[in-house]
Amino acid sequence: MISSPKARLRGVSRGRHYTYNAANLKRPPIALQIWLLSSVVCAAVVILSFARIDVPMALAFWKVGRFLRPLNKAFGATLILSLESAVILVLILARLVRGHISRFGETLAIACVASICAYGINSNVLKVLFGVPTPIEVVHGARHTLNLWMGSGVSSFPSGHMVLAGAFAGVFMRLYRSSIWPLSAVLLLAAGLMVLGDWHFLSDVVSGTFLSVSAGLLAGEWWAVHSDLRP
């Protein structure tokens, strides 16, 4: 007998019964659908911002940015990377000494690792690939355009600071759902300061935030699956 499209499949996982509808097996998970829709919206915002908004906004906030630029030294990427590396080292030592660390400690370690890795890929691949000049360079005469494979680690697109913060936040958003709104507010504040301080264009912070939060969510999902499979 040929089963109907609405046939239901049953199984058992760790003592829990689950049921699948065969008609839904080919549908992507709702989380993936949301991510795909978000990526389309993000791409549209980045393209529009790059073409129409970035430079006028940078010029409008140029005078304001002079008062915020000292924050760049206080929250430089080198300092943040050093702190994250120190946190990872402390957690590793705690794991070796105590034989275990808390769930929060595990999440913190994964968040720091995801942040460092995302920053490294962004600085050494994406920034080099796109080669977009910084707002300061554009204000002083550089063209706001793509210079493919002519960039460096200090190029503007995507924002390195937002990549650092977004990947870190994404892990916590996945593993601690209650942190989604507070961390979203923090990311929004950080993105606003990046633009107001003329460190980055709007397209830089939007792309950097989306890509890095996606990477953090993926790292958190991997860790959730890994933890669930541990004996």
Residue 3 lies in a domain: no
Q: Count structural domains, the chain.
A: 1
Residue 164 lies in a domain: yes
CA angle, residues 164, 200, 124, in degrees to nearest 5: 50
Place of tokens 């937002």: 162
Q: Helix or strand or coil: residue 118?
A: helix
CA distance between the termini of the chain: 40
Dmax of the chain from CA atoms?
75
The mean pLDDT value for 39-65 works out to 92
Query: What are the phi and psi torsion angles at 17 (to 5°)?
Result: -80, 140
Residue 24 lies in a domain: no
pLDDT of residue 26: 56
Residue 21 has pLDDT above 50, yes or no: no
Query: What are the phi and psi torsion angles at 84 (to 5°)?
Result: -65, -40
How does pLDDT run across 173-200, given as a tens digit for each residue?
999 999 999 999 999 999 998 998 889 9
Residue 100 lies in a domain: yes
pTM: 0.84
Q: In whole numbers, what is the pLDDT of the chain averaged over residues? A: 86
Residue 231 has pLDDT above 50, yes or no: yes
pLDDT of residue 230: 61
Residue 76 lies in a domain: yes
Residue 7 lies in a domain: no
